[in-house]
Amino acid sequence: MGQAQQTENVEEVDVKAIQDMYKKFVTECPSGLLFLHEFKRFFGVEPEGEAAEYAENMFRAFDKNGDNTIDFLEFVAALNLVFRGDLEHKLRWSFKVYDRDNNGYVDRSELRSIIESIYRIKRGSKVDTDADFNVDDVVDRIFQAVDTDGDGNISIDEFIRGAQQDTWLLNMLKLDMNPARWMLEQRRKSAHF
């Protein structure tokens, strides 16, 4: 019974958060389109700074049709995935965040860029990162574990398989894979100012 109540409360929080975001979306984007600068403002991210690059990558992953805007359907689909998607769907979405040039592969520079952004955000929010590894160590370890064909790129299949088979990898990728918590933290920060 305790678990059922806990599940209901989690769903209520998620629904409430989505409803709040919808209200804010309609208020701030009466045109029905959210542009990158509005996206950053929406989540309380400074135009430049620790979270800006991460927000830009999230924006690109939300923008399904690549028109440099997020319409309400893209917004709702992304939030539904972020809040309720299964592990494989979240990993697929996370891969899109890593694959900055949208070529279907993650190379070292793309991986390093995202890991570095995540580390900067974690340091800025005083959240502990894996202190045993610097960014380059993390990138090297991920490539050693995931790039099974040794071509210097990580395909979506390698990315998903690696994350599902290695707890450390999954935890590293989850830093980026759970934008719901990041979004809520950004909203809380902007509400306190």
- Domains, the chain, in order of start with CATH, read 2-85+182-192 (1.10.238.10), 87-179 (1.10.238.10)
Which residues make Cβ contacts (< 8 Å) with residue 93, sequence separation at least 6?
A: 61, 78, 81, 82, 85, 177
Query: Kindly report the CA angle at 112 between 109 and 117, in degrees rounded to 5?
Result: 125
Q: pLDDT by residue (tens digit) across 94-121? A: 888 888 888 999 999 999 988 887 777 6
Joined together, the tokens standing for residue 111 give 């991986």
Burial of 62 (0-12, 13-18, 19+ CB in 10 A): buried
What pLDDT does 6 receive? 39
Rounded Cα distance between 8 and 19, Å, is 16
DSSP single-letter state for residue 166: -
Given the DSSP bridges, would you call strands 105-107 and 153-155 parallel, antiparallel or unpaired? antiparallel
Name the amino acid, one letter, at 37: H
Whole-prediction pTM value?
0.67
What pLDDT does 182 receive? 53
Chain centre distance of CA 84: 14
Residue 177: is its pLDDT beyond 50?
no
Q: pLDDT by residue (tens digit) across 145-174? A: 999 999 999 999 999 999 899 888 887 776
Name the amino acid, one letter, at 46: E
- Predicted confidence band of residue 4 (pLDDT cuts 50, 70, 90): very low
- Looking at every residue in the chain, the average pLDDT score rounds to 76
- Predicted confidence band of residue 176 (pLDDT cuts 50, 70, 90): very low
- Predicted confidence band of residue 14 (pLDDT cuts 50, 70, 90): low
Residues 33-42 have a mean pLDDT of 84
If one compares 45 and 74, the residue with the highest pLDDT of the two is: 74
